[in-house]
């Protein structure tokens, strides 16, 4: 129950920023309309680009907007606080707590993601469904698989962001690495353009990278591209990256906390 309390506390913490949530919904919705208009023009010229029809492509757009904050596709998702605690040396206090550092921050991130999914995910998707012909599933099982895929995507996203945050143990300032990581996530997750549209070998390589598990796979589950055996393989792909990156995070954490040096003294 310790980590459940951390997750609940994180949920309540982000729920207090109601104006920021409303502003985020507005921003996601506006960008959704802009990108959707671009996709309509693009799919008008190439009706089956990437194996999607226009309705599936538009669903991809609004799924990306719904998961933008949930999976922290364009930011640290609160882990910049961990970076600052490492830089200032306050991390020493965290290490004295009777709780695992990684599980503590993972629990907090899951609470944050749950709030963002409800607060900044549902509304833009609903607006998109009202304004455009989306290919949303009518099968509750598909929705359940989509939510499971979103959870796995959040785990992968956290594992990547946690590794970036841990790099602050060796860097004086992790801002640059965070920016590089954010750009990589935007490009290789499918946020800018579905990975299925990428040409040749680039698309094949991008589909195997961990960022594909954050957005591309959940979106493909929702639009029905992944079903049956392909759906199982997609979920296993996400779970494998989540386990591998979380395990790597534990190794890096172990190496980093053997000797803690406060920057500047």
What's the predicted TM-score (pTM) here? 0.92
Per residue, the 3-state secondary structure of 157-176, as one string, reads: HHHHHHHHHHHHHCCCCCHH
| Candidate from 24-28, 156-160, 167-171, 257-261 with smallest mean pLDDT | 257-261
Helix (H) or strand (E) holding 100: none
Reported as a single tens digit per residue, the pLDDT across 191-245 is: 989 999 998 899 999 999 999 999 999 999 999 899 889 999 999 999 999 999 9
- When the pLDDT of each residue in the chain is averaged and rounded to a whole number, the result is 90
Q: State how far the Cα of 14 lies from the Cα of 88, in Å rounded to an integer.
A: 24
User: Which sequence spans correspond to the domains of the chain?
Assistant: 2-256
Say yes or no to pLDDT of 265 above 50. no
Q: Which two tokens stand for residue 252?
A: 């890096």
Q: State how far the Cα of 138 lies from the Cα of 140, in Å rounded to an integer.
A: 6
| Candidate from 81-95, 97-111, 185-199 with smallest mean pLDDT | 81-95
Q: Which two tokens stand for residue 144?
A: 């359940």
């Amino acid at each position: 129950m310790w980590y459940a309390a951390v997750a609940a506390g994180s949920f309540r913490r982000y729920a207090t920023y109601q104006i920021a949530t409303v502003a985020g919904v507005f921003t996601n919705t506006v960008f959704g309309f802009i990108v959707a208009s671009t996709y309509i023009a693009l799919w008008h010229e190439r009706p089956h680009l990437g194996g999607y029809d226009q309705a599936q492509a538009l669903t991809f757009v609004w799924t990306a907007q719904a998961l933008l904050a949930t999976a922290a596709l364009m930011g640290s998702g609160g882990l910049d606080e961990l970076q600052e605690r490492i830089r200032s040396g306050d991390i020493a206090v965290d290490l004295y707590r009777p709780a695992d550092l990684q599980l503590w921050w993972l629990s907090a991130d899951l609470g944050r993601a749950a709030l963002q999914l409800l607060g900044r995910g549902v509304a833009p998707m609903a607006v998109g469904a009202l304004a455009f012909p989306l290919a949303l599933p009518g099968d509750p099982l598909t929705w359940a698989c989509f939510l499971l895929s979103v959870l796995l995507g959040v785990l992968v996203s956290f594992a990547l962001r946690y590794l970036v945050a841990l790099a602050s143990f060796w860097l004086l300032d992790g801002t640059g690495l965070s920016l590089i990581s954010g750009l990589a996530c935007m490009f290789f997750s499918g946020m800018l353009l579905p990975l299925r549209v990428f040409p040749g070998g680039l698309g094949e390589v991008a589909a195997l990278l961990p960022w594909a598990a954050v957005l591309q796979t959940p979106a493909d589950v929702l639009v029905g591209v992944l079903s049956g055996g392909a759906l199982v393989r997609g979920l296993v792909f996400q779970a494998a990256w989540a386990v591998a990156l979380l395990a790597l995070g534990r190794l890096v954490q172990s190496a980093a906390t053997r000797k803690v040096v406060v920057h500047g003294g």
